[in-house]
Amino acid sequence: MWNSNRMTDMQFIDISSLGHIRNLLKNIHLTKNEFQIWQSINSTKSFKIGIIKKINSWEESFEIIVKNKELSSFDIQQEIFFKSEYKNILFKSKIAKIEKNHLKIFNPTVVKIREERRDKRKSHGMASYHTIHVKFKNIVLTKAQIFDSSLSGLSLIVNKYIFDTVLEGDVLNLNESTINPFCGKAAIIRNKTPLSNSLSGENMYRLGIEIL
């Protein structure tokens, strides 16, 4: 049963990796999780319920069957919004086609997903002085800036080369750090997110990692 109140106090992160987004949609399809679907703020109280019928990998799209099959209210020119209880996913996209009993939707470019860390997270910010030495696979020992931290994970700011080289699921080793509990730990990359510094306009690159 969908419970929208569960989402109000949650932390969310942006997923922009196309491979990760494809996997999320595939898992929603396989587990037959339902979506809430709507197109405008006025319609959020009367959203429709849909389920993924098919994944079109080559076209970067997927097809949704709407439970009551009432599609006349959908406007192909407007963005369409989705919520799923599968990891409390939120995203918006565009309608590719409205068929007789289903919608064809382009894959989203960004998905918001529930932060997996259960313990309290401390934000250090983009100007943080906290750093950690990290050994990524096939990359020399690198000093990274700590953006935020909790007992179970970290967000790191890295350069574009590292961001483009590492993959979600890669295991790394943590060494000398200004935050003691992480020294000597192994961790796994859970997400990659490009950021923009609102003050300087500089492009930055964040890795979300979980302590193993």
Q: What is the mean pLDDT of the chain?
A: 78
Greater model confidence, 70 or 192: 192
pTM, to two decimals: 0.54
Cα distances from 45 to residues 80, 82, 162, in angstroms, run: 15, 13, 43
pLDDT tens readout for residues 60-110 = 999 998 876 667 778 888 889 898 887 778 888 999 998 877 889 999 988
CB atoms within 10 A of CB 105: 24
* Alpha carbon separation from 37 to 65, 107, 110 (Å, rounded): 11, 15, 17
- Taking alpha carbons only, the member of 191, 30, 26, 167 closest to residue 107 is 26
CA–CA dist 212, 210 (Å, integer): 6
pLDDT bin (cut points 50, 70, 90) of residue 165 is confident
Mean predicted confidence (pLDDT) in 11-23: 74
* Percentage above 90 pLDDT, the chain: 8
- Phi, psi dihedrals of residue 81, rounded to the nearest 5°: -115, 150
Q: Residue 154's CB: how many other CB atoms inside 10 A?
A: 27
Question: Each residue of 69-79: b (16+ CB within 10 Å) or e?
Answer: eebeebeeeee
Domains, the chain, ranges and CATH? 4-114 (2.30.110.10), 122-211 (2.40.10.220)
Rounded to whole angstroms, how far apart are CA atoms 192 and 197? 16
pLDDT confidence of residue 121: 66
Q: List the beta bridge partners of residue 94.
A: 79
Check residue 96 and give its pLDDT.
92
Which amino acid is present at 62? Answer: F
* Cα torsion 163, 108, 25, 96: sign: negative
Q: Which of the four pLDDT bands, split at 50, 70 and 90, describes residue 135?
A: confident
